[in-house]
Structure 1
Amino acid sequence: MGGIDNDHSSSGISSENAKEGTTTKDPKLEFSEDEEDLIARMFRLVGERWSLIAGRIPGRTAEEIEKYWTSKYSSSND
């Protein structure tokens, strides 16, 4: 019976992992509405100069902003 308990508890862990996996997006790619607005405005001004845009948003890296932008706009273009 101990094995059944282990299976049950591991399925709880699996459901937590599945819950995280359902978003399929990096938690760091969650941006506030203000950040999204600023990224869009900066993108119109400077294009794909991610480091320049990141310099205007404290705590964000150029890589995070580029991933956010491509994930948001590549999926809507398909």
Structure 2
Amino acid sequence: MIDDNSQEVSSTEWEFITMTGQEEDLIYRMHRLVGDRWDLIAGRIPGRKADEIERFWIMQHSRVFAEKRNQSKIS
């Protein structure tokens, strides 16, 4: 059952998620091995949740977020 009071948040409204270099490296290596199995990837990174890893991945690979990253670097 869908809760009528819940609001879906557009992915363009997400706050940027920052990862350490080690976390990013592990995410990329694990993604090559297991694909979009965010729960498995998050299990290898202490303190990170599957939805957080997935949002990070989407933000890194989305054209919309790439444009936002570029604009923030220019400012």
Do both share a fold (TM > 0.5)? yes
* TM-score category (smaller protein): 0.5 to 0.7
Backbone CA RMSD of aligned residues: 1.6
- Displacement of 1:74 in angstroms is 1.2
Specify every segment of 5 or more residues in structure 1 that has no aligned partner in the other structure, as ranges: 1-23
Among 37, 43, 46, the residue aligned to 2:31 = 43
Shift of 1:25: 5.2
Structure whose alpha-carbon radius of gyration is higher: 1
Corresponding residue number in structure 2 for 1:33: 21
> Alignment partner for residue 51 of structure 2, among 47, 60, 63?
63
Unpaired runs of at least 5, structure 2:
1-12, 67-75
One-letter amino acid of the structure 1 residue matched with residue 45 of structure 2? I
Q: How many residues align?
A: 52
Please report the TM-score for the alignment, with normalisation by the length of structure 2: 0.63
C-alpha distance in structure 2 between counterparts of 1:44 and 1:69, whole Å: 12
Match in the other structure for 1:3: none
The C-alpha deviation readout for 1:21-54, integer Å capped at 9, x for no partner, is xxx7526x11000000000000000000000000
Distance 1:26 1:68 in 2: 10
